[in-house]
């Protein structure tokens, strides 16, 4: 397997990416929600995102994923809810995955390429855009398979496109 790559920036720069408008709408829709109401709202709102989306809590446990994430990983919504970020990181990349998570949380955002474990097949290489604290304790990753990334139409108002620098 190839090494995991990430580009790490301060939160202001990361949020100024391809998915700026979508993440801003998500954050706005989550304001004022707490507890179960927050989780219900997150699960509804991630379905509106234009890419596979996974939402993890501070313990790296997935609490939500959209239909595109189900298609990408092969796991059902219920199965995703029982997995962690590291569970979707294929061996031998788990140590790299843990380091990327720690850096991501510390910096507030990250983008790059990642090998994502799937339920019944080989890992899939994705380009990802990760946003920490879209709501207290909740973090969103948007994922696009590398083989489709360059053919997807541009979204949002960002200028950094698909390039991992």
Residue 74: CB atoms within 10 Å: 13
Q: By C-alpha distance, which of 5, 4, 7, 12 is closest to 110? A: 7
Task: Give the integer Cα–Cα distance in Å for 49 and 23.
Answer: 8
pLDDT at 103 over 80: yes
Mean pLDDT, rounded, of the chain: 81
pLDDT tens for each residue of 20-41: 889 989 999 999 999 999 999 9
Q: Backbone phi, then psi, for 123, in 5-degree steps?
A: -60, 155
All structural domains of the chain: 10-137 (3.30.450.20)
Cis amide prior to 140 (ω within 30 degrees) = no
- Residue at token pair 């990430």: 6
Please say if the pLDDT value at position 12 is more than 90: no
Q: What pLDDT, in 10s, does the model give residues 37-96? A: 999 999 999 999 999 999 999 999 999 999 999 999 999 999 999 999 999 988 887 888
């Amino acid at each position: 397997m190839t090494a995991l790559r990430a580009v790490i920036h301060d939160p202001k720069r990361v949020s100024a990416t391809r998915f700026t408008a979508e993440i801003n709408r998500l954050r706005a829709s989550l304001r004022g929600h707490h507890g179960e109401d927050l989780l219900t709202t997150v699960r509804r709102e991630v379905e509106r995102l234009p890419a596979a989306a996974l939402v993890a809590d501070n313990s790296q446990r997935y609490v939500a994923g959209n239909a595109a994430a189900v298609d990408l990983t092969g796991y059902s919504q219920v199965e995703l809810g029982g997995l962690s970020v590291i569970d979707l990181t294929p061996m031998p990349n788990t140590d790299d995955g843990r380091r990327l998570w720690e850096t991501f949380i510390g910096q507030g955002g990250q983008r790059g390429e990642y090998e994502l474990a799937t339920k019944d097949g080989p890992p899939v290489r994705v380009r990802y855009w990760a946003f920490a604290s879209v709501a207290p304790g909740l973090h969103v990753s948007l994922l696009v398979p590398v083989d489709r990334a360059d053919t997807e139409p541009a979204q949002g108002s960002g200028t950094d496109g698909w390039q991992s620098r």
